Chains A and B, each alone.
Chain A
Amino acid sequence: MKNYWQIFKKGIIAENPIFVLALSLCPALAVTSSATTALTMGLSVMFVISMNNMVVSLTRKVVNPKVRVPVYITSIATIVTVVQLVLQAYAPDLYDALGIYLALIVVFAIILARAESFASKNKVIPSFFDGFGMGSGFCVALVIIGIIRELLGAGSIFGVKILGDWYNAPLIMILPAGGFILIGYLVAAWKILTNHMEKKQAERGEA
């Protein structure tokens, strides 16, 4: 069980898809202008990546390595279609807000990367935890970016007004340029955090 926890944890902090691996930055910029869309996107990716890791892991012995990428993509596309239809049926507003990026989950680098580098070599349950962890890390990163951008760019969080009318929001935070700058600084902050944690761990190991 501890092993699974390790697999899950590394996706959130040590190998965070956005802040450390720097994969799938395009959606991280495009859908994070508000925290709500960021969270929806994060949860969708979390679901897709966990399910896809399981499917890839289940079929890893049957699939000929030469055709593995089309098989992965087919599997991802199927799961994404499920997510898309569910969102369209139960949350049409969010579906419209996410737009093309929901369908683009199919080609997210992080999903293919996990299928290729982890799920195709490991058993089903570790693969699920790997996908779940990576998806959670992605979701956490997106929500952090989304909250900061929405707060600075619109004065609200999850659509709830936080800053009053005095706040003259700079549009740059809603635009991709502000997203890029913010992600840069968050990567730096994440680096400080992980360095700090490693140092603490090393101290504990010595003690």
Chain B
Amino acid sequence: MAEVKSNKELFNVSVSPHIRSEESVSKIMWTVNLTLAPAALFGVYHFGLNALMIILLGIVSAVFFEWAVEIIRKKPITVKDGSAFLTGLLLAMCLPPTLPAWMAIVGSFIAIVVAKHAMGGIGSNIFNPAHIGRAALMVSWPVAMTTWSKMTTSVPDVVSSATPLNILKQQGYDALISTFGSASNMYQAMFLGNRSGSIGETCTVLLVLGGLFLIYKKYINWQVPVVMIGTVGILTWIFGPAGFLTGDPLFHMMAGGLIIGAFFMATDMVTIPITIKGQIIFAFGAGVLTTLIRLKGGYPEGVCYAILLMNCLTPLIDRFCQPKKFGVRG
């Protein structure tokens, strides 16, 4: 840099932008894939071969559908940028490990073809494609989507079939504690992932580490997961089973798909408001809706629907959170 540049280089006037970032869509997408990988691998280790099948089929079919639609739409082929890979992976990680693996293909089809490319492709989708895929599977095969299996790693005295949130919904908090033995056992299982649930959502610690890495790389804003998880924690603590301020926030914050949803789904750059203020509103709304569905709704878990519902509101939030133009009145 210290060398004297030739005149042409010195006085060359180029068009903006003059400051370029090293980041690109493809780099970000592959990084997110990498940060999700540990939790996905843990899911495979934890739940066995069918989980691996679901993940593989989800990814392969998502990439294939992306490629096929781009051929049909006569668009440049962008399967290498990792966005379809990410959609397939996220979708698979939100599915129960006993699901017939071919259903992951249907989910990928809905996610890529209907939710992503029908809206205009990458960057134009209103809803998080992976969550649309999951929601479509949920209404299509409700029984298969809510059947949970025993895990393969044989740890004694852990939850066998129902997810912790299912037990909480159907049998109450005391039954939940007794299935784990004690409260500290439960927290430990929730933290390390020794429980039943969707393939990629059980291991809280790996997901949080992956999310922290994304925050460190500034791919996501820390406000979104913090506000969303915090909202769920505070609200579930306030509206506890035995009256005010008797809830178990720690359990609710680690249960279900909240961690993966808050770090990896709600922060999807395309479907979230642009400004920090808007993103905080988004995360708060998603937290409130999640709590509402968990405590009052028919489903045991509501992260998927909460994020999708807030996705609908994103344009509206954006409109009310426009930053003030400098030097303009009103």
A binds B: yes
A positions within 8 Å CB-CB of B:
168, 170-173, 175, 177, 181, 184-185
Which residues of chain B from 185 to 210 have any CB-CB distance to chain A below 8 Å in the complex? none
Main secondary structure of the interface of A (DSSP, over half): helix
A183 to chain B, nearest CB (A): 12
Determine whether the beta carbon of B118 is less than 8 Å from that of A170. Answer: no
Determine whether the beta carbon of A177 is less than 8 Å from that of B139. Answer: yes
Determine whether the beta carbon of B114 is less than 8 Å from that of A170. Answer: no
Determine whether the beta carbon of B142 is less than 8 Å from that of A171. Answer: yes
Chain A residue numbers with a CB within 8 Å of B136 are 170, 172, 177
Complex CA distance for A125 and B186, rounded to whole angstroms:
78
Complex CA distance for A170 and B136, rounded to whole angstroms:
9
Contact of B141 among A170, A177, A181, A185 (CB under 8 A): A170
Determine whether the beta carbon of A175 is less than 8 Å from that of B118. Answer: no
Main secondary structure of the interface of B (DSSP, over half): helix
Whether B170 is near chain A, meaning CB under 8 Å from some CB there, is no
- Chain B interfacial residues counted at CB < 8 A: 9
Determine whether the beta carbon of A171 is less than 8 Å from that of B141. Answer: yes
Complex CA distance for A184 and B119, rounded to whole angstroms:
11
With A172-B139, A175-B139 given, name 9 new contacts (CB 8 A).
A168-B100, A170-B106, A170-B141, A171-B139, A171-B141, A171-B142, A172-B136, A177-B139, A185-B118
13 CB < 8 A contacts A-B = A168-B100, A170-B106, A170-B140, A170-B141, A171-B139, A171-B140, A172-B136, A172-B139, A173-B140, A177-B136, A177-B139, A181-B114, A184-B118
Complex CA distance for A175 and B135, rounded to whole angstroms:
13
Complex CA distance for A184 and B113, rounded to whole angstroms:
12
Which residues of chain B from 71 to 104 have any CB-CB distance to chain A below 8 Å in the complex? 100
Chain A residue numbers with a CB within 8 Å of B140 are 170-173
Chain B residue numbers with a CB within 8 Å of A181 are 114
Which residues of chain B from 120 to 159 have any CB-CB distance to chain A below 8 Å in the complex? 136, 139-142
A133 to chain B, nearest CB (A): 30
Complex CA distance for A175 and B139, rounded to whole angstroms:
8
B101 to chain A, nearest CB (A): 13
